[in-house]
Structure formats: structure tokens, C-alpha cells
Amino acid sequence: MKSLAELQAIRNRMLEQVNMRKDDNIDTRVVVGMATCGIAAGARPVMLEFVEELKRRGLDNVTVAQTGCIGMCRLEPIVEVYVKDQEKVTYIHMTPEKVARVVNDHIVNGRPVDEYTIGAQG
Amino acid sequence: MDLIRSHVMVCGGTGCTSSNSAAVIAEFEKQLTAKGIDKEVKVVRTGCFGLCEAGPVCIVYPEGSFYAHVKVEDVERIVEEHLIKGRIVKDLLYKGAVKEDNTIKSLDKVDFYKKQKRVALRNCGVIDPENIDEYIAFDGYQALGKCLTEMTREDVIDVILKSGLRGRGGAGFPTGLKWKFAYNSQSEKKYVCCNADEGDPGAFMDRSVLEGDPHAVIEAMAIAGYAIGADQGYIYCRAEYPIAVKRMQIAIKQAREYGLLGKNIFGTDFSFDLDVRLGAGAFVCGEETALMTSIEGKRGEPRPRPPFPAVKGLFGQPTILNNVETYANVPQIINKGWEWFASMGTEKSKGTKVFALGGKINNTGLVEVPMGTTLREVIYDIGGGCPNGKKFKAAQTGGPSGGCIPASELDIEIDYDNLLAIGSMMGSGGMIVMDEDNCMVDIARFFLDFTVDESCGKCAPCRIGTKRMLEILERIVEGKGEDGDIEKLETLAETIKATALCGLGQTAPNPVLSTLKYYRHEYEAHIYEKRCPAGQCKALLNYKIDPDKCKGCTLCARQCPANCISGKVREPHVIDNSKCLKCGACMEKCKFGAISKG
Ligand SMILES: Cc1cc2nc3c(=O)[nH]c(=O)nc-3n(C[C@H](O)[C@H](O)[C@H](O)COP(=O)(O)O)c2cc1C
Ligand code: FES
């Protein structure tokens, strides 16, 4: 170890891997419905795409979690986004292609993608 | 490891390892592979979570679900339900984490953790101790970097002094002051040592830090080396801690590979290296001068002080010795500032203290609380009280050098000075809880038996004096105590305290003195009434059958292994106490509550 910068580089590389264990710096949670209905409707690729996209953008203050059946199986895959101190937003009929926009518009820029939400489509 | 979305942290501490967490880890790996999700879920073996009683334990992130008593057969369900379908398996969760309405509490709200503050244990159960990168991700080695590149040696000592950090190994000596003394000693060669001997029976916090966060100790020792001007350190650890030793050795190797140990650390002219030295687990080798003699390869015997190690220690050179937990606090003090550390605790005892809770307590395990937390909070709020609804009688702290805190002192705020004032001491952090069934004379005998065994024999007061005290105590618990025994114990105790060579002898009488202080009546009952109030001392126990309650069912007579109960069917039975083994089997079996002991 020849410099602090070197240490910092290791730290940054590792942070995204361990961040989900640090409760205090999580601002946003993405929750994917992964019950039988969700999985059958294609929730897995959606979830994996979220993980990928967040990683690509280096967003280490966001976690991706799974949950069971939310009770609206016909609307699956359902994704709920919880931004700290804000009301949750529920997205329905999600596809991997829609993920990038949700991350960009909602999680990064704070503007939920209305047309994907349950309010617009349900 | 591209798409890791979930971490399964399985405890690999000594407690959970012995309840077979290794098999649980293997099963997780097998199941994840079988289900094809081994690339997105990572299994991490961590150090102790603290709740060893509930072991093997594991936490699944990001949900933070805390599973307890995880059996190999349970793993498939956790993988299938939780990791694939996202449904937390409630019936396998730690009991305290499920609320009455069947919703789940987050871990920091669980009773056991709610009042705790994890500083020394902050990484235990959170990182993989065998992966230096994880330590670095949790701010590891930042403090060392800061010291070497931004702070002078004097600055470092000053921060530690101002933080108010005191030694966690027993005596509570101010750490900064110790470092300053060693800094002031002029010498080409100096040493930094770590006391990981942990001889106090029942204590295991140092082991847990070494197992769960070994790099924190390495980092702190390097900081200490920089501060006092040493380039070599030794960790003295007992060979009975194989997991701790192995993890420490792995950690040292990784630190060397990264150049965090070795020459010119962080490109500066500071060089420092570390080695582990194994001890055979003698209690006296935890005493500082004996420890250093042992590292030198000689028989571990203490020597008189002064000269103090800061002047003349290991190999005759200025040396500092600190406890594992003391070191574990250091990097965070440097990172977060002395003000942060000094804001926790009481006026003269800053920060937190880790206790190994054991004995008659529901939640056996490791707890870390801010100094000044009351004993009541530790025993009831965190420890969950005594099992089976028994009454709390006393807590023993400080191990063989300490004393008992009686129920009347439950509201004492735990810190160095308060404990000393009531005749106990902080010690290294063993806390053994006793309930109404514990005989205090027998407890004193237990600890004295330990010190007699562990006395190195170099000085007469300790070698002979503690043996005489033990003989008297043995007599008392066997019902052969005589008038004057208590006074003899007191005289011996005072003499040994005043004249023994090292801390072992000087503190050995403490368990007797403190039980005499609070439970003198129990000693008196043993001696004068030949009675053990707690019903523990077998020689003083008599089982009796109440003829009015006995229905003559003969159950007890058939249970008795010594055949000492006689009587006709449907007539009251009697016990022949001269043949009775005091096993208690008859009393347990009697359906009419006719048998009593006393
Ligand atoms: C008989 C005896 C046993 C001791 N055992 C230990 C021990 O197991 N671990 C420990 O850290 N300190 C032990 N100590 C205290 C050490 O001598 C020393 O004070 C301590 O390691 C200094 O570190 P600290 O200032 O960080 O507490 C023992 C002392 C005596 C007299
Ligand atoms: S060893 Fe696993 S919780 Fe202590």
C-alpha cells in the first residue's frame, strides 16, 4: 500500500458489494414481487436488470429486495420503489426494458415514471 | 460475483461453529448451486453475532432477516422460500424478532440488541474476517493512513489521551498515558504487544474480536507502533483459540501482501510488522510481566514492577501491552475523533464495554453497552433475566480477581469506578449471572480453586496463602466449618492482598471478600447451623419426607439409586440420610410434594 488513494480505490470497489449490510446509508429500496405469480410473469429478469443497472450507475445507496405476492397477480411483475421519506410508488407489468427509465427518472432524478405506475395502468 | 443481490451471513464464531454452523454454510452453498442462484447470492462466514445461545445464527440481507437455531434441514426452505420467492420464513426467525401481531422487527429493535451499542464489535457478524477487502470497505485501515500521512506521533497520543480510552483488560489504566510513557522512553527498539490471553473463565469477548474483526487489532497495533516508535509487535494468544489464531494469521498475511504491514507503509518511512505468539493458556500469563517473559520463550512467571514495561518490557526494551478490546476501539477513535468517543459513557469511563454474559441467564452471549448502563438493563432488558422464572441473586464480574454484585445493587451504573466501589471490578468483561439456587460460599470456593490451580508458585503469599483459604472454604461447604473460620479467611485475605507479588495473588481473595461482604449470613449458616441456604452444598443437604403428605405410593423408593427409602405400601416412607446420595431423584418424582430438602 503506497498511498491513501490506493486504499480508497479498494474501498470504492468493495463498497457496492457490502452496502446492503449497512442500514444507515440506504435511501431507496426497490422491492420486486417474487411469488409464484411474479416469477411466472417474468419478475426474475426484471430484478436482475435492476441489480445490473444500479451497479452500472454506481448507485450504492439503493437496495433491491424481494417480496411475496402483493395480491394483484394479474398486474405482475410488480415493483415497488420506496424512496426515503416519500410515499411508495408501485410499478406494474414491468419488463427489463423499462428498468433503465425507472432508475434514471425516478431513483436518480426523483420523478416517478407515471405511465408505468398502477395509477396510470391499473 | 457480478450480480450479487443478497448476502447470507452465517456466524462462524466459536459458539456457532460448535453448534455446527460449518455444515449450515456448506448446505447453503450446495442448495444455492442446485437452484442455480449461486452467482447472485453470496454466503459469508462471519465472526460472532453475540447471540450465541440462539446459534447457529444467520442474517439474510438486504432484508436483514435474523434466523436462529438454523439446522441443516432448514436451509433448503430458506433458499426456496426466502432467497427465491422473497418470503421470509417466519417460523425460523429468531423468536425475539417476530412481534405479537406476527410482523417482523428489524434487528436493532430486537430486545437483545436494542440497548446495545456496537463499537468494539462493530464488524463482528458484518464482515468476512478472512477477507481484508471487506474490512477496507467498512473504513478499515483509513485510520492508519490518516495517522501516517496527516498526524504526528504526538497528535496520535493526544487523541487517544483526550478520548478517555481506558484499558479493557482489567485495571482500566488510561491507554493514552501508557503510550505516552513508552513514547518518552528513549530506545532504538520498542515493542507493541497485544494481550489475547483471556484467562478469565467464562469470558470470550477478546476471542470474538479476533475471530470476527482481526484487522482492527492489526491496524490499531500499527497505529500504536507509530505513536511510540516501535517497528515490531506481538499478539499473545492462547493456543486454545484455534479459530482466532488461524484468522489472525490469515489477516496478518493479507495485510503484508497489501503492504499494510512491512516496510514503508503508505509510502512513508514507517515500518511495522507483527507476529502471533501462542501461550499454553495459563491464567498468570495474562499478567503483563509474565506474558512478556513467556513471549521471550521462558517460563511465564511475573516479576516485580517497577520497572514498568513502558520503560523495560519485552527483551528489556520499552513495550506497551494492551488488551484486544482496547485496540479494537482505537481505529474508530482516530477516524471519528476523540470527541465522538468521549461523548459515550460516564465521566471517568468513556466508550462502551463488551461483556460475556453467562450462567443463569436466558440470552447467553456477547453484549456491548455504553459505560454507565445499569446492571438491571444488562440482566433484564438485554439478557432476558434468569431462566425458569428464578430470582436473580448476583452477578459476578472480573472473574477470579473480581467480586459479586448483589441484587440490591442492580441499579448501579456499570463503570470502572462504581464497580470498584462496591467491591467488584470491571475485569476483562466476564459476567456470570447467579440465581437463587447458587450458593455463594461455593462460588467463592470455585474461584479460589481456580486461582490455587493457576498460581505460578513464585511467591509464598499466593502459593501457600490461597491454598489455606481454599482448605477453609472446602471445610465450610462440607459442613465442617468451625467458629473463627470467617475471621481466619479475612486475615488471610488481607495479608495476601498486601503481600503477593503480582496481580493474580493480590486479587485472588476478592471473590471471598465480596461474598463475605454481601452474603456473610450464608457463611454463618454453613458454619453454625450446618445448613446451606441455597440448597447446593450436598454435604449439608437433607431430604425429608413429610409423613402427612406422603401417600405411600412407593414411587420414590423405586427411583432411589441408593435404596435408602423404605416404607410399606400406603404408609408414609422415610429416607435414611446416612445412605442418601442427595441426588434429588425422589423429590423430582414425588407427585404429592411430600419431599423437601434443606
Ligand atoms: C493474573 C492476571 C491475569 C490477567 N489476565 C489478563 C487477560 O487475560 N487479558 C488481558 O487483557 N489482561 C489481563 N490482565 C491484565 C494485564 O496484566 C494488563 O494489565 C492488560 O493486558 C493491559 O492492557 P489494557 O491496559 O489494554 O487493559 C491480567 C492481569 C493479571 C494480574
Ligand atoms: S458464535 Fe455465533 S453468535 Fe456467538
Q: What is the pLDDT of residues B486-530, one digit of tens each?
A: 999 999 999 999 999 999 999 999 999 999 999 999 999 999 999
Dihedral of CA B504/B506/B507/B513: which sign?
positive
Query: Could you tell me if the CB of B196 is within 6 A of ligand 2?
Result: no
Alpha carbon distances (Å) from B181 to B161, B175, B319, B506, B581: 12, 10, 10, 25, 59
> Dihedral, CA atoms, B292, B297, B298, B304, nearest 10 degrees?
-10
Closest CB from B106, B133, B265 relative to A14: B133
Distance from the CA of B53 to the center of ligand 2, in angstroms? 8
What does DSSP say about strands B65-67 and B191-196: parallel, antiparallel, or unpaired?
Answer: unpaired
Q: Which residue of B has its CA nearest to A65?
A: B62
Count how many pairs of residues, chain A against chain B, have C-beta atoms within 8 Å: 95
The CB-side HSE value for B283 (13 A sphere, CA atoms) comes to 25
Interface test with B, best of A3, A4, A28, A76 (most B CBs within 10 A): A4
* Predicted local confidence at residue A27, as pLDDT: 76
Q: What is the reported pLDDT for B1?
A: 40
- Which residues in chain B touch residue A14, judged by CB atoms under 8 angstroms apart? 133-134, 136-137
Tell me the one-letter amino acid at B134.
E
Q: Could you give all domains of chain A from N- to C-terminal order, each with its CATH number?
A: 22-121 (3.40.30.10)
Nearest atom (ligand 2) to Cα of B56: 2
**Do A1 and B139 make contact, defined as CB atoms within 8 angstroms?**
no
Nearest CA to ligand 1 atom 10: B169
SS (H, E, C) B279-302: ECCCHHHHCHHHHHHHHCCCCCCC
CB B68 within 8 A of CB B51: yes
Instruction: State how far residue B88 is from chain A, nearest Cα, in angstroms.
Output: 8
Minimal CA–CA distance to B208: which of B170, B171, B237, B167?
B237
Distance CA B534, CA B493 (A): 25
Contact A2 B141 (CB under 8 A): no
User: Could you tell me which residues come within 8 angstroms of residue A75 by beta carbon, excluding any fewer than 6 positions away?
Assistant: A92, A93, A118, A121, A122
3-class DSSP state of B84: helix
State how far the Cα of A40 lies from the Cα of A59, in Å rounded to an integer.
Answer: 28
End-to-end Cα spacing for chain A: 56
Determine what percent of chain B is predicted with pLDDT higher than 70. Answer: 99
**φ, ψ at B402 (rounded to 5°):** -105, -155
Question: Considering only CA atoms, which residue is closest to atom 23 of ligand 1?
Answer: B322
Cα–Cα distance list, B99 to B105, B188, B595 (Å):
7, 61, 41
For residue B171 the three cell numbers come to 485495571
Task: Note whether B120 and B325 are within 8 A (CB).
Answer: yes
Residue B324 grid cell: 484486544
Confirm or reject: Cβ of B151 under 6 Å from ligand 2.
no
DSSP string, B141-162: THHHHHHHHH--HHHHHHHHHH
Residue of B287, B293, B451, B455 best suited for mutating to test ligand 1, as the one with most atoms within 8 Å of CB: B287
pLDDT of residue B41: 93
On whether any CB of chain A is under 8 Å from the CB of B84, the answer is: yes
Which CATH number applies to B440-528?
1.20.1440.230
Give Cα B177 distance to the centre of its chain: 26
Q: What CA–CA distance (Å, rounded) separates A48 from A34? A: 12
Q: Which CATH architecture has domain B541-597?
A: 2-Layer Sandwich (3.30)
Regarding the beta carbon of B51 and ligand 2, being less than 6 Å apart is answered yes
CATH architecture of B132-342: 3-Layer(aba) Sandwich (3.40)
d(CA B301, CA B370): 35
Q: Which of B85, B215, B263 to mutate to test the interface with A (most CBs of A within 10 A)?
A: B85
Helix, strand, coil: what percent of chain B each, to 5?
Answer: 45, 15, 40
**Nearest chain B Cα distance for residue A111, angstroms:** 25
Q: How far is CA B130 from CA B2, B160, B216, B514, in A?
A: 20, 28, 12, 43
- List helix spans (H) across B59-141: 72-77, 111-114, 132-137
By the 10 Å C-beta count (0-12 exposed, 13-18 middle, 19+ buried), B367 is classed as buried
Residue A83 dihedral angles phi and psi, to the nearest 5°: -95, 140
Q: Which ligand is nearest to the CA of B12?
A: 2
The reported pLDDT for the residue numbered B86 is 80
Residue nearest to atom 3 of ligand 2 (CA): B52
Does residue B47 contact residue B98 with C-beta atoms inside 8 Å? no
Nearest-neighbour CA in chain B from A23: distance (Å): 9
| Phi-psi label, residue B260: left if phi above 0, alpha if psi -120 to 50, beta otherwise | alpha
CATH of range B352-435; options 3.10.20.600, 3.20.20.140, 3.40.50.2300, 1.10.490.10:
3.10.20.600
Phi, psi of B521 (to 5 degrees): -60, -30
For B572, which DSSP code? -
Question: CA–CA separation, B516 vs B270, rounded Å?
Answer: 53
What's the CA gap between B466 and B453, in Å, rounded? 10
**DSSP character for B514?**
H
Exposure pattern of A51-70 as b/e (b: 16+ CB <10 Å)? bbbbbeeebbebbbbbbbbb
Q: Per-residue b/e over B402-428, b at no fewer than 16 CB within 10 Å?
A: bbbbbbebbebbbbbebbeebbbbbbb
Torsion of the alpha carbons at B264, B268, B270 and B272, rounded to the nearest 10: -40
Name the nearest CA neighbour of B503 among B192, B240, B236, B173.
B173
- Mean pLDDT over the full length of chain A: 84
HEC-encoded secondary structure of B358-396: EECCCCCEEEEEECCCEHHHHHHHHCCCCHHHCCEEEEE
In which residue are the cell numbers 434466523 written?
B67
For domain B6-109, the CATH architecture is 3-Layer(aba) Sandwich (3.40)
The rounded Å distance from CA B286 to ligand 1 centre is 5
All residues of chain B having their beta carbon less than 8 Å from the beta carbon of residue A65 are: 62-63, 86
Give chain B positions within 8 Å (CB) of A64.
5, 62
| Closest CA of chain A from B498, distance in Å | 51
Is the Cβ pair A20, B133 closer than 8 Å?
no
Per-residue pLDDT reduced to its tens digit, B418-472? 999 998 999 889 999 999 999 999 999 999 999 999 999 999 999 999 999 999 9
Residues of chain B whose pLDDT is less than 70? 1-3
The pLDDT assigned to A25 comes to: 62
**How far does Cα B533 stand from its chain's mean position?**
29
* Sequential DSSP letters for chain A: ---HHHHHHHHHHHHHHHGGG-GGG--EEEEEE-SHHHHHTTHHHHHHHHHHHHHHTT-TTEEEEEE---S-GGG-S-EEEEETTS--EEE-S--HHHHHHIIIIIIITS---GGGBHHHH-
Inspect the interface and report whether the beta carbons of B40 and A33 lie closer than 8 Å. no
Predicted confidence band of residue A3 (pLDDT cuts 50, 70, 90): confident
Contacts of A53 in chain B (CB under 8 A): none
Query: Which chain A residues are closer than 8 Å to B127 by Cβ?
Result: 18
Domain parsing of chain B, residue ranges: 6-109, 132-342, 352-435, 440-528, 541-597
| Complex-level ipTM | 0.79
Terminal Cα distance for chain B, rounded: 65
Ligand nearest to the CA of B366: 2
Q: Which residue spans within B391-477 are E strands per DSSP?
A: 392-397, 403-406, 430-435
The number of the ligand nearest the C-alpha atom of B302 reads: 1
Q: How far apart are CA B206 and CA B209, in angstroms?
A: 5
HSE of B551 in the Cβ direction (CA atoms, 13 Å)? Answer: 6
